[in-house]
Amino acid sequence: MQKLVWQDAFNIDHGEIDEQHKQWIVIINELSEAIDEDENISKQVVIKALKSVDHYTRFHFQEEEAFMQRVNYPEYEAHKELHESLLKKVKKYMHDIEKDDVHVDEILNVLSKWFPKHILKEDIKLASYA
C-alpha cells in the first residue's frame, strides 16, 4: 500500500494538532509497512497495531475536541460525531479481525483514505481558530 505523506495542505496552523496529525501518519505507515513485509502477518500483530491506532486516535481526538471547545468552534458537535464514527469503525475492526471477518488491507484502505479527507475537509476549518 502507498505510504501516506505529510503535505503542507494538511497544516491547520496549530502546532500541537499538526504534530499529532504527523504522528498519526507515522502510525498508519508503520502498520502498512508491517503488512507489506509479511503478507501472513499474525492476527495478534494486527490487533496490537490497531490498538495502537485506537489509543493514539482517542488521544488526538480528545486534544482536538478540547481545542474546539476552548475556541467555541461552532461545528464542534458535528466534528465530534465524525471522530466517534471512526473510533467505532476501528473498534469494530478489532472485533472483526478476532473472528477473521475482515482483511487488513481493508482496514488500511479505510484509515489511509479517512485521514487526509478528514483533515482537508474538516480539520482545515479549524485553521481560522488556531
pTM: 0.88
CA distance 14 to 73: 14
Exposure string for 14-29, b = 16+ CB within 10 A, e = fewer: beebbebbeebbebbb
- Residue ranges and CATH numbers for the domains of the chain are 12-129 (1.20.120.50)
pLDDT tens digit sequence for 10-51: 999 999 999 999 999 998 888 888 777 666 667 777 788 888
Most confidently modeled range among 3-7, 39-43, 80-84, 94-98:
80-84
Nearest to 82 by CA among 98, 60, 97, 101: 60
pLDDT tens digit sequence for 89-109: 988 888 888 887 767 778 888
The rounded percent of the chain whose pLDDT value lies above 90 is 56
**pLDDT at residue 119, as a whole number:** 96
Measured in whole angstroms, how far is the alpha carbon of residue 105 from the centre of its chain? 15
**pLDDT at residue 109, as a whole number:** 87
